[in-house]
Structure 1
């Protein structure tokens, strides 16, 4: 376990909410934020996966996370989540929304209404309700950052990806609009496109793909920490992991 004083860490004393924290990019983000000194409020549907995350955070930092098992598709719970964070912490410094469903990769004309409704609830309605619940908490922080995971499918439609792509396009519009509304505040909202990564969702979408050829989600952790602490200087921004990695490599070789 590292023995660094928490005050020396870039996100010391920050409160970071990570939605979709039990696996993949959300888990990697939660771990990176915790290692950077933040107290992580981890939200996911599976209690066991959250406890595993907490064990890893405790092993790496000596600190525990706050675990919130919930199905964000039951969107009323997000109002209660905001209230609970207010009562315990009084503010929110970092919001990372990494939860999403892939749904059925099927022709638009074959979409089952119940599958569509579930996808919209998790991928689009939940982040809208999360923004509504968390904006007052973000306003109470000194330099709050909100990071939303998006996908190239939002702007590049592809056969059979209609439902997922539509919800991600809607998410991008909502986040950009919200960020524009916050232009004169100290809150900054960012869309983060991770690209192809070694996640369960990617494996489900591309079962014939070699996962070893893809970046591990842990690689995006430093970028999430950077976005959580940097003043982007813009009412909104879109960030690509691939572009950031290229710039980081350029800086390292300079």
Structure 2
């Protein structure tokens, strides 16, 4: 798969300090994009910046806890004042929460999962939509999971959050259908990430693919040439579901 050219394009990536977010951010830098990398950990962002620069790219680092919802509003204003537009948003950050019966869920854990996985993405859409509309081809792509549509026991908070995210993105895609923005969902499946290790502690990591395998498809779906809107792409089976 040929890597799209992102020269001169500005892309926000959340959860950029590790896993899928790290791989997407470094690949975008190598493809010519200026990456606005968002994550909580300053040290990890600095390592990411080094990796992007080593590939000839450039980045702006934004240490941000996505539970700070007002900071997301300030992010949109800062991007507008500095660049005047945004070309793509990759909503990758997520919390797994506890794998436990619904009756055992702690209120704080529930709140954290719903805030990061759903509310923060709503606030990102609200804050960044005006900037995506100023691009010639604004793209918004959000990471989802099979448990959003096929929930399983003990995954209550995470499953509910992904189901809500899918509904949110589906609505947004319908609202921007007549614009140059395209909004879609991406299900990466099982990958060798910290979240996967936490979700399946007994699993042999060598049997799970590395995060880099999904990067070409993610870049394809946020490129100017990708015109589908309101779709859900399932990477393991390469199944595309039209949601609108």
Q: Which bracket does the TM-score occupy, shorter chain normalised?
A: over 0.9
Partner Cα distance (2:190, 2:109) in 1: 24
| Unmatched 5+ stretches in structure 2 | 240-244
2:1 is the counterpart of 1:10:
no
2:207 is the counterpart of 1:210:
no
Partner Cα distance (1:88, 1:212) in 2: 43
Partner Cα distance (2:189, 2:221) in 1: 17
2:26 is the counterpart of 1:31:
yes
- Any conservation in 2 of the 1:192–1:240 contact (CA below 8 Å)? yes
Indicate the SS of the match to 2:237: helix
- Any conservation in 1 of the 2:45–2:61 contact (CA below 8 Å)? yes
| Unmatched 5+ stretches in structure 1 | 1-7, 246-254
- Any conservation in 1 of the 2:220–2:226 contact (CA below 8 Å)? no
Indicate the SS of the match to 2:222: helix
Is the alpha carbon distance of 1:169 and 1:9 closer, same or farther for their aligned partners in structure 2, counting shifts above 3 Å?
closer
Cα deviation for residue 233 of structure 1 reads 3.5
What are the Cα deviations for residues 37-76 of structure 1, in whole angstroms up to 9, with x where unaligned? Answer: 1100000000000000000001111x33100001001111
The count of residues paired between Structure 1 and Structure 2 equals 237
Counterpart position of 2:192: 198
2:130 is the counterpart of 1:163:
no
Query: Which runs of 4 or more aligned residues in structure 1 lie more than 4 Å from their structure 2 counterparts after TM superposition?
Result: none
Partner Cα distance (2:229, 2:141) in 1: 13
- Any conservation in 2 of the 1:32–1:224 contact (CA below 8 Å)? no
TM-score of the superposition, structure 2-length normalised?
Answer: 0.94
Counterpart position of 1:252: none
Partner Cα distance (2:157, 2:150) in 1: 13
What is the aligned counterpart of 1:236 among 213, 230, 237? 230
Cα deviation for residue 9 of structure 1 reads 6.5
- Any conservation in 2 of the 1:191–1:237 contact (CA below 8 Å)? yes
Counterpart position of 1:4: none
Mapping for residues 119-138 of structure 1, pairs under 5 Å: 119-138=113-132
What are the Cα deviations for residues 107-162 of structure 1, in whole angstroms up to 9, with x where unaligned? Answer: 10111111111111111110000000000000000011111000001011111101
Is the alpha carbon distance of 1:235 and 1:24 closer, same or farther for their aligned partners in structure 2, counting shifts above 3 Å?
same
- Any conservation in 1 of the 2:25–2:35 contact (CA below 8 Å)? yes
Cα deviation for residue 230 of structure 1 reads 5.0
What is the aligned counterpart of 1:82 among 73, 76, 81? 76
- Any conservation in 2 of the 1:11–1:229 contact (CA below 8 Å)? yes
2:47 is the counterpart of 1:42:
no
Partner Cα distance (1:50, 1:64) in 2: 13
- Any conservation in 2 of the 1:9–1:37 contact (CA below 8 Å)? no
Is the alpha carbon distance of 1:110 and 1:55 closer, same or farther for their aligned partners in structure 2, counting shifts above 3 Å?
same
Cα deviation for residue 101 of structure 1 reads 0.3
TM-score of the superposition, structure 1-length normalised?
Answer: 0.90
Greater helix share, structure number: 1
Partner Cα distance (2:238, 2:225) in 1: 16
Partner Cα distance (2:114, 2:70) in 1: 15
